[in-house]
Chains A and B, each alone.
Chain A
Amino acid sequence: MAVSASDIRSALSLPGPSNPGPTSQPPVKKPAGTSTKKPEGISRELFALIGPSAPSLAAQLAKPRLKQKPNLGTTTNTKWEWRPFKNEARSDSLQLCHWVKQSSDIDDGYSFAKYNVDTIIYTYTLDEYTELLQDDNWTKEETDYLFALVKEYETRWYVVHDRYEYPGGSARSLEDIKDRYYSICRKLVRKRPWSGDETTKSQLLVTFEFDKDKETMRKKYLESLDERTQEEIAEEEALFIELKRLEQNERRFKKDRDDLLRTLLGISSGLPDVIPDEDNLSSLSIDTKKKKKGLAEVETPTSPNVISLGPPIPKRAQPVKSAAHDSQHCITRVELSASSANKSHTAAHLRSYKLPAPKAAIAPKVNQTLIELNITYARLVMPTRENSLQLESLIETTTSLLETKRLVDKLDQDIKVAKQRMGIRQSGEADEASMDVDDTHGEDAEGGRSQSVVSTKSGRGRNKAGVHAVYPVHSMTFHH
Chain B
Amino acid sequence: MPAELATSRRSLNGKCRGHPRAALSANCLESSGEMAERGQRVRGLLIHRPIVYGNTAIVLTPIERESLSTPDHTHRWTVAVRSAASPPGADMVGGGDDLTYFIKRVTFKLHDTYTNPTRHIDKPPFEVSETGWGEFDIQIRIQFIPEAVEKPVVFYHHLKLHPWTPHVLGAPSAPLPPPPLEEAARMGPVHSWQYDEIVFHEPYQAFLDILTDHPPTPLPKARNRVVPFHVVPEPGLNAGGAGTGGVPEFTTTMEKEEYDRLENAKKQILAEQEHWKKLLLEKEKEFQKLQKQIDA
Report if A and B associate in a common complex: yes
- List A residues at the B interface (Cβ < 8 Å): 123, 125-127, 193, 195, 297-300, 302-305, 307-309, 314-315, 328-336, 340-341, 345-354, 369-371, 373-376, 379-387, 390-391, 393-394, 397-398, 400-401, 404-405, 407-408, 411-412, 414-415, 418-419, 421-422, 425
Taken residue by residue from 279 to 290, chain B's Cβ proximity to chain A (1 for < 8 Å, 0 otherwise) reads as: 111011011101
Partner of B261, one of A303, A332, A375: A375
Partner of B258, one of A302, A345, A381: A381
SS class of chain A's interface: helix, strand, loop or mixed? Answer: helix
B144: chain A residues at CB < 8 Å are 348
The reply on B26 being an interface residue by CB < 8 A is no
Tell me how far the C-beta of A96 lies from the nearest C-beta in chain B, rounded to whole angstroms: 33
Tell me how far the C-beta of B1 lies from the nearest C-beta in chain A, rounded to whole angstroms: 10
SS class of chain B's interface: helix, strand, loop or mixed? Answer: helix
| A-B contacts, 16 listed (Cβ < 8 Å) | A193-B270, A195-B266, A300-B209, A304-B8, A305-B8, A329-B211, A329-B215, A335-B44, A346-B202, A349-B153, A350-B198, A350-B199, A352-B196, A373-B264, A382-B254, A422-B290
Cα distance A30–B84 when bound, in Å? 73
Cα distance A193–B254 when bound, in Å? 27
B237: chain A residues at CB < 8 Å are 381
B209: chain A residues at CB < 8 Å are 298-300, 303
B259 engages A387 (CB within 8 Å)? yes
* B149 nearest in chain A by CB position: A345
CB interface residues, B 1-33, toward A, < 8 Å: 4, 7-8, 11-12, 14-15
- List B residues at the A interface (Cβ < 8 Å): 4, 7-8, 11-12, 14-15, 39-50, 144, 148, 150-151, 153, 155, 172, 194-202, 205, 208-209, 211-213, 215-216, 218, 228, 230-235, 237, 250, 254-255, 258-259, 261-270, 272-273, 276-277, 279-281, 283-284, 286-288, 290-291, 293-294
B12: chain A residues at CB < 8 Å are 304, 308
* B273 nearest in chain A by CB position: A401
A195: chain B residues at CB < 8 Å are 266-267, 270
Cα distance A171–B276 when bound, in Å? 36
A302: chain B residues at CB < 8 Å are 42, 205
B201: chain A residues at CB < 8 Å are 345-348
Partner of A369, one of B47, B262, B269: B269
Cα distance A381–B238 when bound, in Å? 11
* B5 nearest in chain A by CB position: A304
Cα distance A386–B270 when bound, in Å? 19
Partner of B234, one of A297, A351, A374, A390: A374
Tell me how far the C-beta of B146 lies from the nearest C-beta in chain A, rounded to whole angstroms: 13
Cα distance A415–B42 when bound, in Å? 58
Partner of B50, one of A305, A330, A373: A330
B270 engages A397 (CB within 8 Å)? yes
A411 engages B15 (CB within 8 Å)? no
Tell me how far the C-beta of A103 lies from the nearest C-beta in chain B, rounded to whole angstroms: 43
A384: chain B residues at CB < 8 Å are 197, 255
B281 engages A123 (CB within 8 Å)? yes
* B18 nearest in chain A by CB position: A308
